Amino acid sequence: MNNRGIKSAPPIGSNAPNEQVSTRKLKVLLRLGVYLFKYKGTLLLALALTFASNLFSLIGPQLSGYAIDAIEPGKGAVIFNKVIYYCVLMAIFYILSSILSYILSIVMIKLTQKVVYKMREDIFAKLMKMKVGYFDLNQTGDIVSRISYDVDTINATLSTDFIQICTSIITVVGSLIMMLTISPMLCIIFAVTIPISIFFTKYATTKVKPLFRKRSAKLGELNGYAEEMLSGLKTIKAYHREDTMTERFQVKNTEAIDAYFKADYYGSMVGPSVNFINNLSLSLVSMFGAILFLRGSVSLGNISTFILYSRRFSGPINEFANIISELQSAAAAAERVFRLLDSEEETPDIENASDLENVRGEVEIQNVKFGYVPEKTIIHNLSLYAKPGNVVAIVGPTGAGKTTIINLLMRFYDPQSGEIRVDGTNIRSIKRRSLRRAYTMVLQDTWLFGGTIRENISYGREDATLEEVKNAAKAAKIDTFIESLPDGYDTLLTDDGVNISKGQKQLLTIARAMLPKSHMLILDEATSNVDSRTEVQIQEAMYKLMENKTCFVIAHRLSTIKNADMILVVKDGDIIEMGTHDSLLASKGFYAKMYNSQFEG
């Protein structure tokens, strides 16, 4: 699901053409570069420190050669002073290089933390703009893995490998220039060994990268499975399925470990192989250097200097081969992150979209057709009309399309055809934020965030006073419980309110719905987690909440919707019956059968 104009990345494991792989890789690198250049001042400072540190480090071998060439038999004191001079100078340059490298590491830590902060900020902001359908299709654990593991992997590469690559480039170029000034003849050796190293590294890269993409994907699957199982742990224990779930986890875990092993195994082979080639070049330099020395073409100090530069020249190539695996891992992680950032957002409001003001609560649905996927229609031809202040109950068997109607009213999804109007205005012409503010929702799936009870109740109205919060809690019949807690309304709820019961969580969400001054209300099985006695106790509060509001109520307990102005019976995406409770019972149709079945026996 990518934005228009951006092609989707091929699925993991696909055999994309090399051109597409190269293009995708280049795009990933360019996008990472965009994040770095947002802090170009810090980046330029890091590059300057890298250049200066490596420049001082490259002077050392030259001074070493001068010190060796200064040695002449029979001139002890003079020669010793000269050698000491070059050695002290060499130590100074190496100390300066080390100090600059230390400063560089601090600068890079700050730079990468800024990049990671911005990247996570962008990801979370993107998630807030995504279609609800994205979360229906993707596991929460996999999404969390992209925010945490994938971004951390990118961070590790930026903080270490980025500077390592810059250092390698400077060292290789600087060493090559110095070697050419000493002996162009000896440089011919590298004309053979370096292409071999580059060819092997490129070959290894093409083989290793898909393994790291697969590794990231398998970790996401493992996290998603673990999150799913932990959220349903009580159900697993209740059905004695611990062993089965453990076996399935072991399969996922094995797949992740195998993916890790293959990626790391083949990635780790690159470094030693390139190191062998570089050591071979060093042996050849030593052999041919000795021949040139015997012929008088170069001095002993020059040979020593050349060998030191040759090690510096080949060292970065070997180091680059060693970090290939880390770069591949970071590239795979970055692809997953950017794929999320490129996912389709909610359709933007139309250009002239207006705010919904002076809401009356008149809702009309005309000939709506909808399916979560175009090939499978759930709502076929839905039409209904709710007057301001009416209570519309929606009932029907599981999977009939009741919650889908709510999703359409809130514009979590848009219908394929037909119109939905609020106060005579097509909701496509209303800003989503304004439309959703006009509703208050109490859902079957209760959600509480990490914070105090007071903060959770006042979530829909942050300016609510403590007195208003207490009145809402009292109306929802939860005030006695709250006041019995040691910290009362300042009690901290953690991990989606695991320290309170499901029924208490639901009462808190009902109290939350009491505060916003909205004109329309949606109750989706709002009392499903409370017992019948408590439900009776809060009916009065619910009626108060529904007062002067257009209400849409989804209910399985049909006894709770007897007083609804209109009851819609939905089956297979169609309204098969419509009327009041008494008229539907009198017609002895599908509703009557449903109602009577709840009281049989």
pLDDT at 281: 75
Distance CA 153, CA 215 (A): 12
Distance CA 422, CA 440 (A): 15
Could you tell me which residues come within 8 angstroms of residue 295 by beta carbon, excluding any fewer than 6 positions away? none
* Spans of the chain below 50 pLDDT: 1-19, 601
CATH class of 18-341: mainly alpha
Numbered ranges of CATH 3.40.50.300 in the chain = 361-438+522-531+552-601
CATH class of 361-438+522-531+552-601: alpha beta
Per-residue DSSP letter, 75:
-
- Residue 419 has phi, psi (to 5 degrees) of -135, 150
Numbered ranges of CATH 1.20.1560.10 in the chain = 18-341
pLDDT at 5: 35
Q: Tens digits of per-residue pLDDT, 307-366?
A: 787 777 776 766 666 676 677 778 888 888 888 888 888 888 888 888 888 888 899 989
pLDDT at 99: 93
CA distances from 197 to 192, 202, 279, 472, 544 (A): 9, 9, 11, 72, 78
pLDDT at 559: 72
pLDDT at 406: 85
- Give DSSP secondary structure letters for 337-398: HHHHHTB-BPPPPPTT-B---S----EEEEEEEE-SBTTB-SEEEEEEEE-TT-EEEEE-ST
Per the CB < 8 A criterion, the answer to whether 558 and 392 are in contact is no
Per-residue DSSP letter, 130:
B
